[in-house]
Amino acid sequence: MPYLEGQVGPRTLGDGAPAPARLTRTGAVVTADAHARFQEAALRSRLYSDGMTLTSINNATFTTGTLTASCTPIAGVWNPLNSGFNLVIEQLRLQIINTALQTTGNLVVREAAGAGGGPISNLSTLQTAAGLMPFNTAEIDLIDGAFVVPPGGVLALLATGTPVAISAASSLLWEEVSV
C-alpha cells in the first residue's frame, strides 16, 4: 500500500515546483478552500471587475428589443479581438431599485438562471412606515467560469422586457486567461 507524506503549513513555490501534499496542523490533507476563493487570480493580477452605478442606464435601452448602437446593457463586457485572453466570468452582482409604484417582473433572465435583484422603492408614498415594507437585496450570481467570452466576443446582461421606472447597479467579475 503506498504511503502519502505531506507537509504542514503553507509554502511559497514557483510554478512547476514539486511539493508534498499540504496538511493541516491536525494532519488532515488540505483539499479545498486553502485560500480565499479568487486569491490565486488576484495575486497573479488576472482578476478584473467593472460595472455601472445606479444612475448610469435608462430602463428603455437595456432590453433585448433594443439591440442596436443605443443599447446599454445592465452589465456587460467586450473582449477585443486581439486581446490574447479569454474572459472567464466568475460573478455577476445586481441590485434593482424601483423608482415608481409600478414594476414588472421580467427584468433579467440568462439561460436557466435569473438574477432579478430585490426591488427597493425610491419614491414618495402615502403609506405609513408600518404599511410599507420594501426590501433590498443585492443578488450575486455565481457563474464560476460557466461563461467564457473569447477574443472578439461580447457578453451583455439585458432585460427581456421594458420595466417601468427601474434603475439598476451592476458589476461583473472576471479572470483573464491566456488563449
Q: pLDDT digits over 27-85, tens only?
A: 888 776 667 888 888 888 999 998 877 665 656 667 777 777 777 777 889 999 999 99
**C-alpha cell of residue 107:** 427584468
Residue 94 sits at the vertex; the CA angle it makes with 71 and 45, to the nearest 5 degrees, is: 90
- How much is the pTM? 0.69
d(CA 19, CA 2): 17
DSSP 79-126: --TT--EEEEEEEEEEEEEE-SS---S-S--BTTB----B-EE-S--S
Contact 117, 167 (CB under 8 A): no
Alpha-carbon distances, residue 74 vs 4, 48, 60, 77, 129 (angstroms): 50, 17, 11, 10, 31
Closest CA to 104 of 167, 18, 163: 163
Q: pLDDT digits over 115-164, tens only?
A: 554 555 555 555 555 555 555 566 788 889 999 999 999 998 877 766 66
d(CA 62, CA 138): 19
pLDDT confidence of residue 29: 83
Q: Where are the domains of the chain?
A: 1-34, 38-178
Closest CA to 174 of 51, 57, 71: 51
pLDDT confidence of residue 148: 96
Mean pLDDT of 82-94: 93
pLDDT confidence of residue 87: 97
Residue 175, helix vs strand vs coil: strand
